[in-house]
Amino acid sequence: MAAKFTNTVKGNVHTVKTIAITGASRGIGASAAIALASPARRLVLMARSEDKLRQTQAQVERRGGQAIVLPVDLSSRKGAELCSKLLLERTDGQLDVLILNAGISNHSDFLNSNLDAIEYELRLNYLSPLVILRQCLPHMVTQPDGGHVVCVGSLASLMPFPGEVSYAASKAALLSLLRSLRVELRHQPVTLTTVLPGYTATEMTSKHRSLLPAMSSERVGISIVKAVEERPHLVIPGISNRLAARLFRTFPGISDRLLARFASLLVPSVKQP
Positions in the chain whose pLDDT score sits under 70:
1-14, 201-213, 262-273
Sheet holding 66-71, edge to edge: 66-71, 41-47, 17-22, 97-100, 147-152, 190-195, 234-235
pLDDT 10s digits, 156-189: 899 888 888 999 999 999 999 999 999 999 999 9
Amino acid residing at 34:
I
Per the structure, the count of domains in the chain is: 1
Residue 133: what pLDDT? Answer: 98
pLDDT of 251 reads 86
Please give the pLDDT value at position 169.
95
Answer yes or no: is 5 within a domain: no
Contact 67, 45 (CB under 8 A): yes
Which residue in 120, 126, 167, 199 is the catalytic one? Answer: 167
Residue 81 has a pLDDT of 97
Domain holding 78, by residue range, is: 13-266
Give pTM, 2 decimals. 0.88
Identify whether 120 is a catalytic site residue.
no
pLDDT at 102: 94
State the pLDDT at residue 162: 80
Q: φ and ψ at 154, to 5 degrees?
A: -160, 150
Please report whether residue 40 resides in a domain. Answer: yes
Calpha distance 272→264 (Å, rounded): 6
List the CATH number of the domain containing 145. 3.40.50.720
DSSP H stretches of helix in 93-148: 115-122, 128-140
- Which pLDDT belongs to residue 22? 98
CA–CA distance, 195 with 235 (Å, rounded to integer): 5
Residue 184: strand pairing partners: none
Q: Is residue 116 part of a domain?
A: yes
Q: How many angstroms separate the most distant Cα atoms in the chain?
A: 64
On whether residue 237 sits in a domain, the answer given is yes
What pLDDT shows up at residue 11?
44
CA distance 121 to 124: 5
The percent of residues in the chain predicted with pLDDT above 90, rounded, is 65
Phi-psi region of 84 (alpha: psi -120 to 50; beta: other; left: phi over 0): alpha
- Is 273 a member of any domain? no
Instruction: Please indicate, yes or no, if residue 106 is contained in any of the structural domains.
Output: yes
The verdict on residue 156 lying in a domain is yes
In tens, the pLDDT along 200-237 reads 766 655 455 555 667 888 999 999 999 999 999 999 99
**Does residue 2 lie within any of the structural domains?**
no
